[in-house]
Structure 1
Amino acid sequence: MKEKKLKIAIQKSGRLFEDSIRILKDCGISIDNGKDQLKASARNFPLEVMYLRNGDIPQYLTDGVADIGIIGENLIVEKGEDLEVMQKLGFSKCRVSLAVPKKEAFDGLESLRGKKIATSYPNTVRQFLDQNKIEADLHIISGSVEIAPSIGLADAIVDIVSSGSTLFKNNLKEVATIIKSEAVLAASPKMDDDVRKIASKLQFRLQSVLRARESKYVLLNAPNEKVDEIIKVLPGMRSPTVLPLAQEGWSSLHTVIEQEKFWEIIDELKAIGAEGILVCPIEKMVL
């Protein structure tokens, strides 16, 4: 009986491609792909990779041609509302935002009434306008949306924004965020049970990698009389490890700290009396 493989669709080029390949590699998956291949197999995991245009991935998932895919949340809103989000992946964060010319006054969403809006995301914009009971005309553009106001095609635009530099260069200002987005692992509604078991194994590896990326391993020394106070500050997975040092009256404490809380906690530890604080990256964190 032929071994079943999990078919994953990823962007063949662009901002999602490199991060998608990197996270699969961090999951211990080795992919045999040559230059310009559109399909490749993993050597050490039942996985087949399909390299597709980003905008085509939702349809491949909906049709069951691909079992899972790495795409932006914004594309699920735009093209794949029937797709299941298995896992948020924490990279390629951006937002779909409304922007208008810098010189134009913007007095809230009501000022969009009757105006022309250029976008590559018509379904997302229509939902946003309907939710806010605003009637406006949409001008659908497949690329270079930012130029639309300057050539008279539109009064405003809705597009993906990361740093905002492209808007700035085109004399536009961001006035409202419609949705926030990041890369996600999305699943086809047609995936069968056997393939879903493989997808669950991949998701388990992804979760271990993501937890590690979001955490730091911290080792510190402290006088024994400060240990209890320090333990109250440290947020270990269960509780910090405490080991006696060769120097009498001192202990070494080991724990894991979330990246977003790291500096706040380090400042507290120093104030209490922690010394010799070492910070190490974590490759994987399996719970």
Structure 2
Amino acid sequence: MLRIAVQSKGRLFEDTMALLSEADIKVSSSKRTLLVQSTNFPVEVLYLRDDDIPQSVASGVADLGIVGENEFKERNEDAEIVDRLGFSKCRLSLAIPKESKYEGVEWFNGKKIATSYPMILRKFLDKNNVKADIHVITGSVEISPGIGLADGIFDIVSSGSTLVSNNLKEVEVVMKSEALLIRNKQMDEDKMKTLQELLFRFDAVRSAQDKKYVMMNAPKSNLREIVEVLPGIKSPTIIPLADDEWCSIHTVLDEKCFWEIIGKLKELGAQGILVTPIEKMIL
């Protein structure tokens, strides 16, 4: 049985539990239980603090872990990245008081920077030949300049609203981060087989994201033009109708280009366009 370590709270916890649910892996998200076994898949979930996950996987306490790339890089543990999961995206950035004039990274020379990610920050500063004092802090890093604890901060940024509310501005993006699936390097063959099944399910869930299944009736006289408009997975399915001059077309569309394509289809005579969400998609 695979043991997978996940964050016990926060946005990454919510996104992870949603992924497991969509992959039909049933586990309890009770905050009172540290270790929970799935009722329908050979996996058990170990709830941990995010900064403990890389070490737990590297040491073999857990076989797998879902952790932010920022924490994985900061902890620098000997575990292997299996997959990038595409959610919980953010960035690690340097920020300074809004009123400060900023002309480049050399602004930080001689300054004090508050952060929870000293290793990543030190590598960045050394790479740019910047000599700054790193002040390690946990909790609300963004308040540090306002109370005189630091001149700037290095912290996670998602929407940027927290920076704005603390009168700060983002000046340097040091790295981008997303949720990673990591594994212990010593997993045995049976566990690797279970991991492949887990990855198969995750891929099916992600393939369906932002996709719509579209069905429509269309005149055969415009069939070639309609097919050229449709960017299907391979090619659309075309089904004859009782009316010899019409056919039914089924395809999959990406939501990002959905409305633009629907407009073109209507211009080419498509009617009765039916759109449904896709839960899973096996490629």
Deviation at 1:133, TM superposition (A): 2.6
Question: Is 1:285 equivalent to 2:264 in the alignment?
Answer: no
2:79 paired residue among 80, 83, 92:
83
Deviation at 1:81, TM superposition (A): 5.5
User: How many matched pairs?
Assistant: 283
Change beyond 3 A, Cα 1:265–1:76:
farther
| More displaced stretch, 196-205 vs 176-185 | 176-185
Change beyond 3 A, Cα 1:74–1:34:
closer
What whole-Å deviation, never above 9, does each CA across 1:233-286 have from its counterpart, x for those lacking one? 212222100112334422221111223333343343344443332221111111
Q: Aligned runs of 1:129-148 on 2, under 5 Å?
A: 129-148=125-144
Q: Aligned runs of 1:40-189 on 2, under 5 Å?
A: 40-80=36-76, 82-189=78-185
Tell me the TM-score normalized by structure 1. 0.92
Query: CA separation in 1, counterparts of 2:268 and 2:113?
Result: 56
Change beyond 3 A, Cα 1:238–1:69:
same
| More displaced stretch, 272-281 vs 111-120 | 272-281
1:241 paired residue among 232, 237, 242:
237
| More displaced stretch, 153-162 vs 129-138 | 129-138
Residue in structure 1 matched with residue 19 of structure 2 by the alignment: 23
Query: CA separation in 2, counterparts of 1:262 and 1:83?
Result: 40
Change beyond 3 A, Cα 1:77–1:34:
closer
1:260 paired residue among 241, 256, 261:
256
Tell me the TM-score normalized by structure 2. 0.94
Taking only the aligned residue pairs, the percentage that are identical comes to: 54
SS at match of 1:124: helix
Residue in structure 1 matched with residue 270 of structure 2 by the alignment: 274
Letter in 1 for 2:240: P
Query: CA separation in 2, counterparts of 1:141 and 1:210?
Result: 36
| More displaced stretch, 97-106 vs 176-185 | 176-185
Deviation at 1:118, TM superposition (A): 0.9
8 Å CA contact 2:55–2:77 kept in 1: the answer is: no
| More displaced stretch, 84-93 vs 48-57 | 84-93
Change beyond 3 A, Cα 1:80–1:219:
farther
Question: Is 1:224 equivalent to 2:220 in the alignment?
Answer: yes
What whole-Å deviation, never above 9, does each CA across 1:62-112 have from its counterpart, x for those lacking one? 111111111111112211363322222222111111111101111111212
